Amino acid sequence: MYTRLLRNTLQIRNYSSNVAHNIQVQPINKILIANRGEIACRVIRTARRLGVRTVAVYSDPDEHSLHALHADEAYRVGEATSTASYLRGQRIIEIAKKSACQAIHPGYGFLSESVEFAELCQRENIIFMGPPSTAIRDMGIKSTSKAIMAKAGVPIINGYHGDDQSNDRLCAEAEKIGFPLMIKAVRGGGGKGMRIAVKKEEFLDSLNSARNESQKSFGDSSVLLERYVRSPRHVEVQVFADQYGDAVYLWERDCSVQRRHQKIIEEAPAPGLPEKLRRELGEAAVRAAKAVGYVGAGTVEFIMDKKDLSFHFMEMNTRLQVEHPITEMITDTDLVEWQIRIASGERLPLTQEQIGRKGHAFEARIYAENPRDGFLPGAGPLRYLATPQPNEFVRVETGVREGDEVSVHYDPMIAKLVVWGANRTQALNSLIARLREYHITGLETNIKFLIGLASHPEFQQENVHTGFIDEHFDTLFPAIQIKDEQICKAVAAVVLNEMQVFSSNADKNDPFNASKNKRLNYALTRNYKLKENNEVYNVNVRFIESVLLIQVNNGTWIKVKSECLADGDRLKIKANIDDTLSTFNANIDGAENGKLSFELVQPEFLNALSDQHSGIGGNKVMAPMPGVLEKVLVKPGDKVKKGDSLAVLIAMKMEHILKAPQDATIKSINCAEGENVAKDAAIVIFEDEAVE
């Protein structure tokens, strides 16, 4: 039993005060996980292996979630929104006491970097499985952390980190720093409360947006200003420290390729760094951790010049990082196990000299979002979900299953796909192959984009930096060219699905129900319309015995033979298209062909009825993604100019300002503040005639 290993008391010396004291090693046999989704499932998995019981908390939408199902016990924590559930520190403490938990694992996000929650745990004599509250405070306030880092000899970027947060002072400091510059929330991370002001005229709008988002995410609107380093690399170091003053680094990760200042693909180790530099990064990170008396898992993030490889401290995330699995893959460690052991009072499991490094690992974050529409987050049901097969070299870290809903109230990440290879090329090839095996329908995802990114020649050549997506936008988002053969596959899937449904519902004794799509004395021709990326394809299908003749946009007729293969409840199809054989998976939610998702277009009269029922015309502003309408800034009768702000939408904890596309007069507001709105819901309606 794991807890037997912890039954001893060790004499240690406090390195900062040089005063000896005792640390009682406390067996941990039950922990509460103050989080949800993927990270909660991840902690449960290690805890179960160690014989440690787990308690989950769940909000109303998460009652039937995987993390609530897999934990030994689960308790309701509140309503859907984070503030009414996973951010309720006092309620979580009550549940921990009620369930007799000795420790709380905060995961990442939510309360993981809350000074107040760490202090509350200490007052209630519950082990907080993270650093001391003083370390969270020092590293959580970026202005404080940079001063401490400078004193510890860790390189920093110059900027304004002062307490005077007036507009006048911030504008004056921005002038001194020069543009472009970075506006960053002094608390938190994950891209929240972060904006780039390219020129002076944008500064105040960017400042207000960063403040608002920071206040909502962290309860603090204070910001700092820094010189913006164009297209740097984002390199971070995993550190661990115990209660005895010892700290180690577990090598570095490169998280440079980002959108909206948030990571989407990470790798370890960072490519192209000399071995001497890797050790310098690790040693600087350890100095950073020791400077604040750190304990537990932490990540020290650096901005690195992609040309001369000089690096500067950016921030420290005082928690287990989302991308920790790639560090585990190259070091053969379980960092959650390390957290449990260190929280129990044990020493670090390995010394610095014992921490090896082997091979290369990638992590790709599977998000519900639309990359071709500015990576706007999405929400909705996972109607079809098929993942790669996990094994020793492939991990699928997720907290959802087919049929679950991606909620507007939480982060839109569906899963993390983690792969390992003997070298970077091998690992990258594995990542691409496994991404091709990942199939999701019911909502937009970034899987196809990730395949294109991982296959990009510049990414393959290790030329990564934070401006990668912008620099290679045209090649990452080429014009979509759909081949007739791909449309034939999608239509064949639709036809076979219709036949399966028909045969399962038909009266077998009725001769008129003997076979769908067959007619006596003539060949039936049916018409389908498929839409992909707003382009509609007109498809005619002629049924001749067991053969389909398919015509796309009045082109040539293509001969198709297709059949369903046994694959459980999945629709797996073998098709012969003009004497070329292929086998593919499909799901009818619309129709999916590989990494192309087609939508079956409704007849025009149904669309007209829908518009008539909703009472809306063409002059409207719609929600670009599902979310909560935070604030309406106009009222009926107001005259607005093009570019004026109309409403604020909160989706996945991010703030999105809806602006007027034209000069107009407001006719009506269709939604109320605080209301959940669907994607493409009409929020603001204009008068029919634009204002001159």
Least Cα distance to 365 among 263, 296, 492, 458 occurs for 263
Q: Which of 137, 319, 341, 424 is catalytic?
A: 319
- Which amino acid, one-letter code, is at 485? E
Q: Considering only residues 56 and 489, tell me which one the structure prediction assigns the higher pLDDT.
A: 56
What mean pLDDT is reported for the chain? 87
The residues, ordered by sequence, that sit 6+ positions from 322 with a Cβ below 8 Å of its Cβ are 39, 108, 263, 365, 413, 416
Tokens 């604020």 belong to 648
The answer, yes or no, to whether residue 369 has pLDDT greater than 80, is yes
- Per-residue pLDDT averaged across 447-459, rounded? 97
The answer, yes or no, to whether residue 503 has pLDDT greater than 80, is no
**In terms of DSSP H, where are the helices of 563-663?**
604-614
Check residue 6 and give its pLDDT. Answer: 33
pLDDT category of residue 688 using cuts at 50, 70 and 90: confident
Q: According to the per-residue pLDDT averaged within each range, which of 132-136, 162-166, 572-576 is highest?
A: 132-136
pLDDT category of residue 278 using cuts at 50, 70 and 90: very high
For residue range 650-662, list pLDDT tens digits in order.
876 667 788 888 8
The answer, yes or no, to whether residue 692 has pLDDT greater than 50, is no
Residue 180, preceding bond cis, omega within 30 degrees?
Answer: yes
Check residue 328 and give its pLDDT. Answer: 98
Check residue 596 and give its pLDDT. Answer: 67
Tokens 């924590």 belong to 77
Check residue 520 and give its pLDDT. Answer: 57
The residues, ordered by sequence, that sit 6+ positions from 179 with a Cβ below 8 Å of its Cβ are 197, 198, 199, 200, 203, 228
At 160, is the secondary structure helix, strand, or coil? Answer: strand
Q: Considering only residues 603 and 259, tell me which one the structure prediction assigns the higher pLDDT.
A: 259
For residue range 33-61, list pLDDT tens digits in order.
999 999 999 999 999 999 999 999 999 99
Q: Could you tell me what percent of the chain has a pLDDT over 90? A: 60
Check residue 142 and give its pLDDT. Answer: 74
164-167 contacts: CB < 8 A, separation 24 or more? 165/221, 165/222, 165/223, 167/204, 167/207
Tokens 């979630």 belong to 65
pLDDT category of residue 589 using cuts at 50, 70 and 90: low
The answer, yes or no, to whether residue 127 has pLDDT greater than 70, is yes
Q: Could you tell me what percent of the chain has a pLDDT over 70? A: 87
- Per-residue pLDDT averaged across 374-381, rounded? 89
Check residue 655 and give its pLDDT. Answer: 72
Q: Kindly report which listed range (80-84, 338-342, 343-347) carries the lowest average pLDDT score.
A: 80-84
The answer, yes or no, to whether residue 77 has pLDDT greater than 60, is yes
The answer, yes or no, to whether residue 330 has pLDDT greater than 60, is yes
Residue 49 annotated as catalytic: no
Least Cα distance to 269 among 316, 323, 308 occurs for 323
Q: Considering only residues 356 and 492, tell me which one the structure prediction assigns the higher pLDDT.
A: 356
For residue range 607-638, list pLDDT tens digits in order.
444 444 333 345 889 888 788 888 899 999 99
- Which amino acid, one-letter code, is at 186? V
- Which amino acid, one-letter code, is at 309? L
DSSP label at 601?
A: P
CA distance 382 to 369: 13
Q: Kindly report which listed range (53-57, 279-283, 494-498) carries the lowest average pLDDT score.
A: 494-498
Check residue 275 and give its pLDDT. Answer: 97
